[in-house]
Amino acid sequence: MDVEPEPETPPTPEASPEAIRARADALRDARNWPAAEAAYREYLAERPRHWQIHVQLGHTRKEQGDLEGSLPHYQRAAMLAPDDPDPMLQAGHVLRNLGRGGEASVALARALALAPDSPALRHVVALLRHRTQPAPDGPMLPPLPRPTGAPTQLAFDVTDLLDYLRAARTPTGIQRVQMGILGALLASPQRPANVILVGFEGSTWRWWHVDEAAFRRVLALARIGGRDDDPAWRAATAALVAPDARPDAPIVAGCTLASLGNAWGVQEYFRGLRRLRATTPLRYVAFVHDCVPLAMPEHCLDLTVRLYARWFAALSLHADGILANSRATIADHARFAAPLGPVAPARLIRLAAEGGASPVAAAQAAEALRAPRPGEDFVLFVATLESRKNHLMVFQAWLELIRRLGADRVPRLVCVGRPGWRAEAALALLEGSPDLRRKVTVQSGVSDLALAGLYGRCLFTVYNSFHEGWGLPVSESLAAGKLAVVPAHSGLLEAGSPGAVFFAPQDQPDLVVKLEMLLTDPAQRAALESRIDRASARRDWPDAAREVLEALASPHDQPESPSFLPLGRHLPMGWRGDGLPSPSMAWAERVREGLAWWWQEDWGVWMRDGIATLALPSDQPEGTPMRVVLELRGPPGPLNLRLRARGARAEAWRGVALAPGEVLRCVLQAEAGPGGMAVDLDCGDGVPLGDRFKRVVGAGLVGVMLCREDDLAARLSALERAEA
């Protein structure tokens, strides 16, 4: 019997390349990296020239932890698509993570050449600029001479103001000064044609051109509103504070660069200034608003004191001129700067207290606040809530008035200011006293417009402080025709001179007497108000802006006094000090040249991968035999360090092997050059530090000493230090 054959099963159709790719993409989206890798390889077997999929294959290897294995795939994609920046960008990121900074910088530079308008690429390439710049060579030369005569350009640095506006909308004292002066200057029909706004990006050591129209828009919005979440505000600030999307600052030779704020918190600020000066001769002028962290460190955060002291010390080696808001501040600056060397000339810029707001609009804005209530009498206290403003003493005085006069005869105290530091005692008293809670209101986020309405409605103002550079709320109160009760000290004596009521500093009984008189004797209060010199107090911001322009346009052209590193002294490179600025602080900042340095730490400072340079200016004649003693620290892994001295010429490179954590002292000898001595330290690709910043470091520098070769006392001191 014949058996019929079974029908053949038709073959399963092979998946198309498109179907394989779709499956690979789905596995990738599910983060199933091994299966996605297999599927992408299967696809590339059919379509080997699809460069985007080579990039995806590289991603699958990278996500599985195989950074080395991902590189060939990115490099293959770059060969297939030589005009697209993405493969080189991906390769550059991997090379950075592998600690191969030199190769990473080349790859990323190629990517940027293909997409020169990409802000993200511009930023990442700038981060590796220390690996792309050629090694310094030749003799150690003196710095370029500072320009003389009238400036060719005025560049106003607004870095710290932009940093503030990134996080807050309502300005405090220093920001109000910057915004007032610059707003008036930029809006003036008589403004010079050579004015620009610039910012400094510390992570990339780059000065960038701030868009003036965007800046003026933000200033206008900051004055009329207080809400940080306002969409118009967010859009305006986002357009302003984006350095990577902006061109380099067009700073020209002969420029005067002026900082009207406080740059003491800006990362790598003075190193950025020195880099700019290395190619562009310019003057630098800084505005000193007060010396509170030096005069009253107990009322500041420890970090603030340390940052400010280092900034103030570095001013002695970098500033060509100082602007200040009062004669008291000029005296403070001179007192603290005297031990550091020649004191830069200072010019007085009296602050403004401009009204300008529509009284109707200001009153409406004030009425929208939660306090005071419509028609309610109140006294105004405008100040950041921090220990220096001593709200505690004012609250205690208010409590004494309530107990002495009765709550019905004591008006509300409205405190306007952002929370600061060390105000816990004042806030605890307020929280613990039902009488105070009924009579004291604290609020922040008050716009300039609403604040003008509060000045117009209050009975009078009170302002307390342990120390002030000026005291802008005092000027604003008097300009509005309202008495200000203030302590008789520091810059407050000048701010309050048009008619303030002064009390003995930190004398609570005297404060209570003055407050009681103003509250219980309306006729006396009216008589004192009538004596206020409002014309003197009400000084427009255009007046202050005009004084700034005059000071910058006609500098004190004193003979330049070169600054030389003290010879024969050990210079610690760590972030030490007792809160007061010192020459060692200034020089520890000054000698770090170039880009291949991290920030200072307590023990010293790490170098980056690549070549770090120490610039050691001296007044020794060219050709003088010199000696440099370096105290080095090994990174977490072994490091082969190359180093050399440069004086009259570049000496030969020497090799030093640093074991992990090893402390080593190294001596270099050379003849002095026209500008002194330099030391170049080549750390190669460095070693991962393993910190939360994922830093790659070279050697650490603990200290340095420069001396003449024949200075036996200095050499013996260095030897004794090495043996200690």
Q: How far is 489 from 468, CA to CA, in rounded Å?
A: 8
- pLDDT tens sequence across 538-550: 888 999 999 999 9
CATH of domain 571-723: 2.60.120
Nearest to 700 by CA among 585, 612, 571: 612
Q: Look at residue 563 and tell me whether its pLDDT is greater than 90.
A: no
Residue from 347, 183, 549, 453 nearest 175 by CA: 183
The whole-angstrom separation of Cα 598 and Cα 202 is 11
Q: How high is the pLDDT of residue 486?
A: 98
pLDDT band per the 50, 70, 90 thresholds, residue 554: confident
Mean pLDDT in residue range 509-529: 97
pLDDT band at 228 (very low <50, low <70, confident <90, very high): confident
In sequence order, the β-bridge partners of residue 608 are 697
Per-residue pLDDT, 714: 84
Q: What is the pLDDT of residue 558?
A: 61
Both tokens assigned to 374: 């419509």
pLDDT value at 363 more than 70: yes
pLDDT of residue 492: 97
> pTM higher than 0.75 for the full model?
yes
Token duo for residue 161? 């103001």
DSSP-assigned letters across all residues of 15-52: PPHHHHHHHHHHHHHTT-HHHHHHHHHHHHHH-TT-HH
**Residue 497: pLDDT band with limits 50, 70, 90:** very high
Whether the CB-CB separation of 66 and 93 falls below 8 Å is answered with no
How far, in Å, CA of 591 to CA of 714, rounded? 19
State the average pLDDT over residues 210-238. 86
- What's the average model confidence in pLDDT over 65-94? 95
Q: What is the CA angle 419-420-425, rounded to 5?
A: 90
Q: What count of other Cβ atoms lies within 10 Å of the Cβ of residue 611?
A: 23
46: how many CB neighbours lie within 10 A of its CB? 14
| Structure-block tokens of residue 699 | 């050697």
Find out whether 545 and 184 touch, Cβ atoms under 8 Å.
Answer: yes
Mean of the pLDDT values across residues 12-22? 82
Average pLDDT over residues 496-508: 97
pLDDT in tens, 407-433: 999 999 999 998 888 889 999 999 999
Report d(CA 587, CA 704) in Å as an integer. 11
Chain position carrying tokens 């460069």: 51
Predicted confidence at residue 723, as pLDDT, reads 65
Q: Which residues contact 400 (CB under 8 A, 6 or more apart)?
A: 508, 512
Per the prediction, the chain carries an average pLDDT of: 92
**605 three-class SS:** strand
Q: What share of the chain has pLDDT > 70, as a percent?
A: 96
Side chain identity at residue 515, one-letter code: L
Pick the CATH number of 359-539 from 3.30.1370.60, 3.40.50.700, 3.40.50.2000, 3.40.640.10: 3.40.50.2000
Write the pLDDT tens digit of every residue in 159-174: 999 999 888 887 888 9
Alpha-carbon distance 554 to 149, whole Å? 7
Into which CATH architecture does domain 153-348 fall? 3-Layer(aba) Sandwich (3.40)
- Confidence check: pLDDT of 12 > 50: no
308 Cβ neighbours under 8 A, 6+ residues apart: 264, 293, 294, 300
pLDDT number for residue 6:
52
Measured from the Cβ of residue 41, the count of other Cβ atoms closer than 10 Å reads 14
What is the pLDDT, as a whole number, of residue 359? 86
AA identity, residue 657: A
> Residue 11: pLDDT above 50?
no
Q: 58, 37 in Cβ contact below 8 A?
A: no
For residue 577, pLDDT beyond 90: no
* Contacts (Cβ under 8 Å, ≥6 apart) of 201: 126, 207, 208, 243, 244
State the average pLDDT over residues 196-216.
95
Residue 707 has pLDDT above 60, yes or no: yes
506 neighbors 394 (Cβ within 8 angstroms): no
What's the rounded mean pLDDT across residues 507-514? 98
What would the pLDDT profile of 597-631 be if each residue is shown by its tens digit? Answer: 999 999 999 999 999 999 999 999 999 999 999 99
pLDDT band at 201 (very low <50, low <70, confident <90, very high): very high
Distance CA 622, CA 319 (A): 27
Q: What is the DSSP letter of 439?
A: H
Could you tell me the residue ranges of all domains in the chain? 17-132, 153-348, 359-539, 571-723
Interaxial angle between packed helices 51-63 and 67-80, expressed in degrees from 0 to 180 and rounded to the nearest 10 = 170
Nearest residue to 289 (alpha-carbon basis) of 162, 472, 452? 472
CATH fold match for the domains 153-348 and 359-539: yes
Q: Is the pLDDT of residue 512 over 80?
A: yes
Rounded-to-10 torsion of CA 368, 373, 376, 382: -60
Contact by Cβ (8 Å): 646, 140: yes
Look at the domain 17-132 and name its fold: 1.25.40
Mean pLDDT calculated for residue range 70-99: 94
Backbone angles phi, psi at 449, to 5 degrees: -65, -45
Measured CA angle at 168 (ends 165, 172), to 5 deg = 90
Write the DSSP symbol of residue 284.
Answer: E
CB 378 within 8 A of CB 414: yes
The region of weakest confidence among 154-158, 183-187, 452-456, 715-719 is: 715-719
In whole angstroms, how far apart are CA 96 and each of 75, 107, 238, 592, 640?
15, 10, 29, 24, 19
Strand order in the sheet with 592-593: 592-593, 611-616, 677-682, 639-646, 654-658
Question: In a 10 Å sphere around its CB, with 0-12 CB exposed, 13-18 middle and 19+ buried, how is residue 125 labelled?
Answer: buried
Question: CA–CA separation, 122 vs 277, rounded Å?
Answer: 22
pLDDT score for 535 = 87
Q: Which residue has the tokens 């207290």?
A: 353
Higher pLDDT, 717 or 6: 717
